Amino acid sequence: MNNRKENSTNTINESYWKDHCGIAFTLSAIGGRWKINILSYLLHEDKLRYGELRKRLVGISERMLIAKLKELEQDKLVNRIVYQQVPPKVEYELTALGRSLENILILMDEWGETNM
Amino acid sequence: MNNRKENSTNTINESYWKDHCGIAFTLSAIGGRWKINILSYLLHEDKLRYGELRKRLVGISERMLIAKLKELEQDKLVNRIVYQQVPPKVEYELTALGRSLENILILMDEWGETNM
DNA sequence: CTGCATCCTCAAAGATACTG
DNA sequence: CAGTATCTTTGAGGATGCAG
């Protein structure tokens, strides 16, 4: 996808990458404080406007939401749909790739619910 | 488990917690830069001494490794086995709860391998 | 060998004001 | 409405020295 190799995980040795490279990549795509929340909402609600997402993600700053949406878009997990009109309207939705994360999110949710 | 509520995710609103509480909890248990790496090694190699883990986790500082192992121990994901001898010998191994994360790690690895 | 305490750095994230 | 720009803050993580 994009510049994964510049992330913090690039200091890991070869034996690691042989065994767990996929995990590191997945984490780099959905890890951090906000991305999974964003993906979850888009999973449940199909299309959401920027402002709707912001209302749901209580506590996120505009700057962060934009940054994370842009990263998700660059990683092809979400589509950004621009409606040419005034006032502006932009919607975000999951791509097929984004939806393919559903199994992982479900498993994580189940494990958490069971063990919290 | 322990003090989840003090984490950064505690600012999220009610509708979030209703829908995705489990995911947030799971992420708080295995998220971050190192925990999944540690878990992966213990999954593949059963018991590992502190020094062996440190050799495998290239780039981690002693301070971080100790801190993350302690967190994993407090969350009941790993067991710490102390051998009363000189020089000291301590081994770490997954608990049943820790091994129960295997499915998630496998899914994440597969997704990453497929899409990286 | 295993582990703790202290100090420090830097990047991620927050706050705020502004614009098309 | 949907962003952008700038400044500030925070805290995860690194370096180092010490101890049982």
pTM of the model: 0.82
Q: Which residues of A touch B15 (CB under 8 A)?
A: 56
Please work out, in degrees rounded to the nearest 5, the angle formed at the alpha carbon of residue A11 by the alpha carbons of A10 and A16: 85
Number of structural domains, chain B? 2
Are A74 and A111 contained in the same domain? yes
Interface test with A, best of B5, B52, B102, B108 (most A CBs within 10 A): B108
Are A71 and A111 contained in the same domain? yes
DSSP string, A20-86: HHHHHHHHHHH-SSSHHHHHHHHHHHS-EEHHHHHHHSTT--HHHHHHHHHHHHHTTSEEEEEE--S
Q: What's the domain range around A7?
A: 1-30
List B residues 33-62 in contact with A (Cβ-Cβ < 8 A). Answer: 33, 36-37, 40, 44, 56-59
Instruction: Please state the rounded mean pLDDT for residues A37-42.
Output: 93
Are A38 and A14 contained in the same domain? no
pLDDT confidence of residue A19:
54
Are B19 and B75 contained in the same domain? no
Are B13 and B66 contained in the same domain? no
Nearest to B21 among A24, A107, A112 (CB): A112
B29-32, long-range: CB < 8 A, 24+ apart: B29/A112, B29/A115, B29/B1, B29/B75, B29/B77, B30/B77, B30/B101, B30/B104, B31/A27, B31/A31, B32/B68
**What CATH number is associated with residue A86?**
1.10.10.10
Are B26 and B37 contained in the same domain? no
pLDDT digits (tens, 9 = 90+) for A46-68: 999 999 999 999 899 999 999 99
Q: Which of B3, B34, B17, B1 is nearest to A37 (CA)?
A: B17
* Higher-confidence position of B98 and A33: B98
Are A63 and A94 contained in the same domain? yes
Are B6 and B49 contained in the same domain? no
pLDDT confidence of residue B32:
87
User: 3-class SS at B80?
Assistant: strand
Are A58 and A82 contained in the same domain? yes
Can you tell me the distance from the alpha carbon of B72 to that of B42, in angstroms, rounded to the nearest whole number? Answer: 12
pLDDT digits (tens, 9 = 90+) for A82-96: 999 999 999 999 999
Does A11 contact B37 at a Cβ distance shorter than 8 Å?
Answer: no
Can you tell me the distance from the alpha carbon of A82 to that of A91, in angstroms, rounded to the nearest whole number? Answer: 7
pLDDT by residue, tens only, chain B of 116 residues: 333 333 333 333 344 444 567 888 898 899 888 999 999 999 999 999 999 999 999 899 999 999 999 999 999 999 999 999 999 999 999 999 999 999 999 999 999 999 98
Are B50 and B99 contained in the same domain? yes
Are A47 and A59 contained in the same domain? yes
Are A20 and A45 contained in the same domain? no
